[in-house]
């Protein structure tokens, strides 16, 4: 990488910290029993003194596992990172950390996001580490790794896992997640059968990597790049492209320089950076999950980011990424259209261009050479997909602390809608009864799910794209107004109101809704209103009893004690609060 100040080049000695100033020196370089022990144990690992003494020690935090298809290639990428670290004169050490698989982990990997953030922070704090390269990408791993790195505040670079290859079926290009939901509904409607579903099963996900739509994974890795925590263009490189391995090696090279410069996340993850990440997500038409994660990430950086900030910024940026589920194309198309650097050239009027990134002295410098190569994939400002950002924040007596909706991926006819509620107390009940003719559900009804928030879920599962009843699908209905305290996959679509806060489990108004109550959604007015009088709601509240806690012991009980609500990021109170954490004494 070039463009950073303070470096004399690969052939000379770097300006910056000397070996005795490195954090790892406290473990390895002092004249004491403990340092002797540390050096002896490093010999036990098979390393020569020349391989590590006096060199920046770089932790590679790897979320690889055999059961995480988004990260199954990260074992190889770790080797590329090591290659870069060695070339730059550092000493790489790989640390396996928790793998959060959106595909397999139940009840939801969101339950464990904060656990991985704790593991990240404490590993970096407790070992002889000077900097870190963070390998992740599947939905919750990106915010978790960056939250932990922000709290530890050692120099760090994030390496996104990258999107998988496009899917294919009978001449059609498929987007993982988005087309899964679409064709599952087609099957329920009786339009396709088991043979077609078996073919789709083989063609939907063709390679390692994250979902190749603008789902949560691509949204969050794009946010990481916009924040300045990745190398330029890193977030869209396909997982199996040779450029991905080159990016991993370049990240290994760069982290050694960052350690020598002592450039820490606290200098990069500023309020300006978070506002730019919000603008990026909104202009991408990105996942609603980014709202929760960026609020939590900002909190770890000492930045108070709120739903009001999201709504304010949403009114200043258009949607310019023509990507599914709100558009037409997939992430490989976005990458070859110029990737995020090219995309951000269309937002320079709202971005803070003079802030630093891990790759350049300023974002302005980072974007200087970027070009758009396909203006249908990355739209210019005069041809937006939408005049305003793809997400909206709602307020009203049903969500006094807010709710969110991805209206760009919904039927425009439902942007303003009033209908009677059909209420489900939990997701299992919904699955059992959604097709019950006795419910009399019509396309005008509003489906309401409660018991799916941070506490009630538990962990706020992605239940928010509530299924449309089979009989309506057979009539051609493909969207309805749906409301919940759950999240939904970033690959999902539809008029789904999400993250209703406070959640029903703690007595939020969602707990008081009854079937038949009229509800009005008005996206333009940013309003969600329950047509029940305050007096009636107070009477219902007096009769309401809190449900039992899902967990009585273990991590789940700790989660319940510590978790905050969706509008404040669902972080743990003990992790989100300010306070001193001492450096360990290495002895």
Q: Which residue has the tokens 């991905």?
A: 244
Instruction: Outline where DSSP puts E strands in 127-248.
Output: 131-136, 156-160, 167-169, 172-174
Q: Would you tell me which CATH number, out of the four given (3.20.20.140, 3.30.450.20, 1.10.150.240, 3.40.50.2300), belongs to the domain 55-165+207-367?
A: 3.40.50.2300
The token pair that represents 394 in the structure block: 């709602």
Same fold, 55-165+207-367 and 391-543: no
Q: Phi, psi at residue 94, to the nearest 5°?
A: -90, 135
Residue 16 pLDDT class (50, 70, 90 cuts): confident
pLDDT digits (tens, 9 = 90+) for 144-159: 999 999 999 999 999 9
Residue 276 has pLDDT above 90, yes or no: yes
pLDDT digits (tens, 9 = 90+) for 365-409: 999 999 999 999 999 999 999 999 999 999 999 999 999 999 999
Per-residue DSSP letters for 52-82? Answer: HTTS-EEEEEE---TT-TTTTTHHHHHHHHH
Q: Which of 521, 530, 529 is nearest to 411 (CA)?
A: 521
Question: Per DSSP, what are the bridge partners of residue 131?
Answer: 58
- Under CATH, what is the fold of the domain 391-543? Glucose Oxidase; domain 1 (3.50.30)
Residues contacting 53, CB < 8 A, separation 6+: 19, 28, 29, 39
As a whole-number percent, the residues of the chain with pLDDT over 70 amount to 97
Q: Which of 190, 22, 165, 156 is nearest to 81 (CA)?
A: 156
- For residue 14, the model assigns a pLDDT of 52
- For residue 9, the model assigns a pLDDT of 34
Residue 12 has pLDDT above 70, yes or no: no
Residues 503-531 have a mean pLDDT of 98
For residue 41, the number of C-alpha atoms closer than 13 Å in the C-beta half-sphere is: 9
Q: Which of 489, 492, 490, 476 is nearest to 443 (CA)?
A: 476
- For residue 15, the model assigns a pLDDT of 64
Per-chain mean pLDDT for the chain: 96
- For residue 4, the model assigns a pLDDT of 39
Helix axes 289-300, 271-284, angle to 10 degrees: 170
pLDDT digits (tens, 9 = 90+) for 76-101: 999 999 999 999 999 999 999 999 99
DSSP structural state of residue 463: -
Per-residue DSSP letters for 485-544? Answer: SS---TT--SSEEE--SS-GGGT-GGGG--TT-EEEEETTTTEEEE-S-HHHHHHHHHH-
For residue 475, the number of C-alpha atoms closer than 13 Å in the C-beta half-sphere is: 10
Burial classification of residue 39, based on how many CB atoms lie within 10 Å of its CB (0-12 exposed, 13-18 middle, 19 or more buried) = middle
Question: What is the domain partition of the chain in residue ranges?
Answer: 55-165+207-367, 167-204, 391-543
Question: Per DSSP, what are the bridge partners of residue 132?
Answer: 59, 156
């Amino acid at each position: 990488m070039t463009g950073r100040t303070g470096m004399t080049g690969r052939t000379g000695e770097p300006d910056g910290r000397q070996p005795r100033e490195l954090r790892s020196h406290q473990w390895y370089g002092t004249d004491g029993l403990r340092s002797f022990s540390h050096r002896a144990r490093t010999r036990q690992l098979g390393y020569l003194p020349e391989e590590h003494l006096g060199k920046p020690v770089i932790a590679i935090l790897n979320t690889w596992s055999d059961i995480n298809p988004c990260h199954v290639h990260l074992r190889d990428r770790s080797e590329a990172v090591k290659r870069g670290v060695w070339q730059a004169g550092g000493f790489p050490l790989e640390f396996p950390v928790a793998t959060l698989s959106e595909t397999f982990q139940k009840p939801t990997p969101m339950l464990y996001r904060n656990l991985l953030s704790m593991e990240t922070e404490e590993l970096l704090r407790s070992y002889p580490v000077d900097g870190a390269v963070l390998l992740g990408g599947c939905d919750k791993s990106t915010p978790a790794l960056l939250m932990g790195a922000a709290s530890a505040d050692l120099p760090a670079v994030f390496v996104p896992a990258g999107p998988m290859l496009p899917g294919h079926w009978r001449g059609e290009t498929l987007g993982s997640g988005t087309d899964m939901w679409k064709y599952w509904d087609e099957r329920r409607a009786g339009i396709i059968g088991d043979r077609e579903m078996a073919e789709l099963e083989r063609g939907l996900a063709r390679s390692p990597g994250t979902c190749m739509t603008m789902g949560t994974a691509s949204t969050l890795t794009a946010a990481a790049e916009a924040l300045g925590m990745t190398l330029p263009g890193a977030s869209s490189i396909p997982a199996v492209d040779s450029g991905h391995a080159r990016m991993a090696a370049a990240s290994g090279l760069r982290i050694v320089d960052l350690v020598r410069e002592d450039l820490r996340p606290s200098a990069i993850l500023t309020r300006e950076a978070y506002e730019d990440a919000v603008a990026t997500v909104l202009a991408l038409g990105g996942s609603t999950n980014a709202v929760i994660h960026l609020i939590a990430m900002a909190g770890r950086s000492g930045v108070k980011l709120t739903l009001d900030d999201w709504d304010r910024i949403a009114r200043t940026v258009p949607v310019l990424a023509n990507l599914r589920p709100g558009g037409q194309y997939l992430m490989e198309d976005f990458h070859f259209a110029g990737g995020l650097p090219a995309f951000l050239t269309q937002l320079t009027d709202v971005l803070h261009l003079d802030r630093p990134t891990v790759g350049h002295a300023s974002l302005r410098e980072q974007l200087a050479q970027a070009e758009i190569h396909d203006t249908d994939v990355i739209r210019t400002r005069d041809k937006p997909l939408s005049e305003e950002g793809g997400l909206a924040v709602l307020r009203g007596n049903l969500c006094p602390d807010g709710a969110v909706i991805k209206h760009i991926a919904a039927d425009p006819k439902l942007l303003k809608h009033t209908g009677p509620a059909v209420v489900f107390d939990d997701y299992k009940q919904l699955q059992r009864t959604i097709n019950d003719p006795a419910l009399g559900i019509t396309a005008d009804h509003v489906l309401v799910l409660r018991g799916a928030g941070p506490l009630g879920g538990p962990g706020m599962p992605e239940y928010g794209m509530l299924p449309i009843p089979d009989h309506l699908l057979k009539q051609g209905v493909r969207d309805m107004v749906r409301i919940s305290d759950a999240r939904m996959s970033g690959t999902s679509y539809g008029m789904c109101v999400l993250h209703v806060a406070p959640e029903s489990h703690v007595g939020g108004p969602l707990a008081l809704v009854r079937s038949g109550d009229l509800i009005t959604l008005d996206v333009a007015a940013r309003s969600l209103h329950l047509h029940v009088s305050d007096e009636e709601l107070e009477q219902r509240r007096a009769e309401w009893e809190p449900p039992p806690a899902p967990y009585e012991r273990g991590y789940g009980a700790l989660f319940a004690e510590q978790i905050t609500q969706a509008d404040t990021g669902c972080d743990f109170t003990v992790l989100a609060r300010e306070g001193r954490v001492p450096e360990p004494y290495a002895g």
